[in-house]
Structure 1
Amino acid sequence: MARILLLFSRAANQDIVAAKLTPHHDVRSITGEQDLNLLQSPFDILLVDGPSLEQYWDAIQQGRNAQKPVLLPVLLIIAKEQVSTLQPKYWQVIEEILTAPIEIAELQARVETLLRIRQLSQELHQANAQLQTANQDLQELNRLKSQFVSMVSHEFRNPLGVISGYLQLLDHDTHRLSAERKKVFFQHIRDAIKRLISLVDDVLIMGRMGVGKLSFEPAPLDLIQFCKRIIEETQHSSTVDCQLQLEIEEELSLLQPMPLDQNLLNYILTNLLSNAIKYSTEPRAVRLHLSTSPKQVMMQITDSGIGIPAEDQAQLFEPFQRATNVGRISGTGLGLAITKLCTELHGGQISLNSVVNQGTTVTVQLPIKDQAQP
């Protein structure tokens, strides 16, 4: 129901118009200066006569300006002989003129036409706002795309350069290289290949995220045995010496296999353990602590590495964000963003607590009940 304001100098005329329009609209009458605040409230059309237009022109203009860019229609009801005497400035706020004496049917038709014009103005404003938002989203998408291409190109170039360089040495100087030296070169090549595989995995997961194809597919899983396997695999695949410790609270052994997505959980733990090793300082010691409560299981990965500055922590779960103190340690800024999504697909939460030069603890909490529902 449209809201109509009436501003007439003669109360009798105002009452007649109000009586005709009230059955179909919410009609409010301004009967004095004490009611002028209604011009600053939300309404859809103003009906005004000549004397009131002149007297309250400033207030009427302010009311219209308050609703820009949406059109607030003003219908002027005035004696025919007075039309030519209107000052030019008053035409700035008038959409329609109806000369007195008026026909009620014509008044109702004019009001409905102006209300339709206002509705179209509102729809146009909403469409423009949506287009502006879409344009901003597109600009942000283009920025992220450029950033992604630049990051991937840079991160791929380094291991490819390592592989190419060592292959050239093995090809040209193989007869002069000792067996031990060749073994070192091959290990560097294997490490670079592992890095490339990790990058490809991240890119593929990001691609699945972008098209909404990364889903939660739970199946009963023995969490303790799963974590033991992840620890062992991470220990063997690490390119640096590290000590990985698995701590299990006694209550956890009482849990039955839980509905978890093994692929998503594999990414969560592998990424967090790899990060903990990568950003640790000597000696590289990382701890995975498993605990439980009646409603959730909690996994905490703790290192004693370089830590994360407080001002960086809030944004680290966003794509392409890295701490400002990583120096030359390689990384894409994708790992924690993907880890967060994998955790949320489980219905869980992830958080971190870190102090620079002391270490970082990342906590993943997964609900125990109702996990069968994605």
Structure 2
Amino acid sequence: MAGEKIVVVEDERVVARDIEKRLLQLGYAVPAIASSADEALQKVAEHHPDLVLMDIQLWGEADGIEAAEAIRVNFDIPVIYLTAYADEATLQRAKVTEPFGYIIKPFDERELHVAIEVALRRRLAEAAIRVALEKEQELRELKSRFWSMFAHEFRTPMTSILSCAQVMEQYGNTMPEARRREYLYLIQSSIRSMDNLLNDILTIARAEGGSLEFSPTFLNLEQFCRELVEEIQFISDSTHSITITTQGNCANTCLDKKLLWHILSNLLSNAIKYSAHGSSITLELSCPNGDVVLTVTDVGIGIPPEDQPHLFEPFHRASNVGTVPGTGLGLTLVKKCLDLHGGHIQVNSTPGQGTTVTVRLHSNSSCPIPEQMQNR
């Protein structure tokens, strides 16, 4: 592990230079030498070394043990004591600072080298353990949020289904036809909501597990978008006006239909969900030079600036959504599908004015041409 930076703290100048020389011969860098506790803290703050070699007896009011404790607390940098002090009282004081080594002077070069390498490897191992523990904690929190969200989002439609079924069972024979159809529609809508949630979760799980594939096929993009808009408006019973505009030839694109469905359906559903009833939404298609650009624009509630950096994090929802239902998984799924497609996304939003989401995809040039087109 040669090349690491080591600060030497030693009040005897001749001894300090000898230690520096040995360290340089072993391949380490010595950015600074200090002779007091205050100077040691200053040099550590300035150079951020990988290790500090610390003598216990130093110039000034504070000794090396006090300096080592301050370095441990403020910088989390390992310290090895190089000292002539080996009495029990000094050892007990030194142990409190959790040193990475304690070498009694005089010492040989091999002993110094071994102590340094052990300390550096221990530091790497402890850092790896900390990262692993942090990731484990994040995973536990993510799982907890997932199950909380899952239970909440499933409980609402299940409650609606149960309530409708109970009312129809009790009053079905005397219920007006219009009311009966209303309850049946609510049941169907609740089931579709549960199905969409399951599809989103399973798709994200497949993406995380590496089993979600990118399979581009020939696609008439304009026709695909018109059919998708009709489907979304029917499912959501939307009163929004969704306008589709096209620039360039988007009839002969090569894209993954399933991934594109997840991308556009989530973007359009968000535009509907967070816009006032009856407001306008625009889906713009542009196909310049083999690329595909899709832009969804709404005049809804917008996204606060502080929430925008977290848009693609699982379960994150903007602070201004209020009581609007949602899982916080939609844009996470969009991002994963875009990554598989090699695409990019840009979100421009102003609270109270609306949101514009632009997606850029590359139309795959190696897409197989359908047989009916080959025969033209």
| Alignment TM class, shorter chain as reference | 0.7 to 0.9
Cα gap change, 1:181 to 1:73, in 2 (>3 Å): same
**3-state DSSP class of the match of 1:300?**
strand
Summarize the alignment of residues 276-315 of structure 1 with structure 2, pairs less than 5 Å apart: 276-294=271-289, 296-315=291-310
Q: CA deviation at 1:20?
A: 9.0
Letter in 2 for 1:365: R
Instruction: Please state whether the residue corresponding to 1:95 is helix, strand or coil.
Output: strand
1:48-87 equivalences under 5 Å are 66=71, 69-74=77-82
Structure 1 residues 1-374: aligned runs within 5 Å: 1=2, 42=49, 66=71, 69-74=77-82, 95-98=103-106, 110-249=108-247, 251-253=248-250, 256-258=252-254, 260-294=255-289, 296-368=291-363
**d(CA) in 1 for partners of 2:43 and 2:63?**
7
Q: Secondary structure of the equivalent of 1:217?
A: coil
Shift, 1:54, TM fit: 6.8
Q: CA deviation at 1:294?
A: 3.4
The 8 Å contact of residues 50 and 120 in structure 2, kept in 1 or not, is answered as no
Q: Deviations over 1:325-350 (max 9, x none)?
A: 32222111110111122112222221
Q: 16-25 or 62-71, which moves further after superposition? A: 16-25
Unaligned runs of 5+ residues in structure 1 are 77-82, 99-106
Alpha carbons of structure 1 residues 358 and 16: separation in structure 2 relative to 1, 3 Å: closer
- Within 1, Cα distance between the matches of 2:349 and 2:43? 55
Contact 2:52 2:78 in 1 (8 A): no
How far off its partner does 1:215 sit?
Answer: 3.6
Structure 2: which amino acid aligns with 1:243?
A: S
Shift in Å, 1:46: 6.2
Quick check: 2:54–2:68 contact (8 Å CA) kept in 1? no
State the Cα distance separating 1:263 from its structure 2 match.
1.1
Cα 1:239–1:358 shift into 2, 3 Å:
same
Counterparts in 2 of 1:138 and 1:214: CA distance versus 1, 3 Å: same
Which amino acid is the alignment partner of residue 165 of structure 2? L
Q: How far apart are the structure 1 equivalents of 2:11 and 2:195?
A: 78
Q: For residues 295-336 of structure 1, what are the alpha-carbon distances to aligned partners after superposition, in whole Å with 9 as ceiling and x for unaligned? A: 632111112223333333332221111122322221111101
Query: 2:158·2:190 contact (CA, 8 Å) conserved in 1?
Result: yes
SS of the residue corresponding to residue 249 of structure 2 reads helix
Tell me by how many angstroms 1:158 deviates.
0.7
CA distance in 2, matches of 1:212, 1:293: 31
The aligned amino acid for 2:225 is C
**Off by >6 Å, runs of 4+ in structure 1:** 2-11, 13-23, 30-33, 36-39, 43-48, 52-63, 369-372
Q: What is the TM-score normalised by the length of structure 1?
A: 0.76
Q: What letter corresponds to residue 72 of structure 1 in structure 2?
A: I
Q: CA deviation at 1:216?
A: 2.6
Q: Distance in 2 between matches of 1:217 and 1:206?
A: 17
Question: Cα 1:8–1:241, aligned 2, differ >3 Å: closer, same or farther?
Answer: closer
| One-letter amino acid matched to 2:243 | Q
Q: Structure 2 regions of 5+ residues with no counterpart?
A: 368-376
- After superposition, what is the alpha-carbon deviation per residue over 1:12-50, rounded to whole angstroms, capped at 9, x for unaligned? x9999999997655698x9998xx9898665878699xx
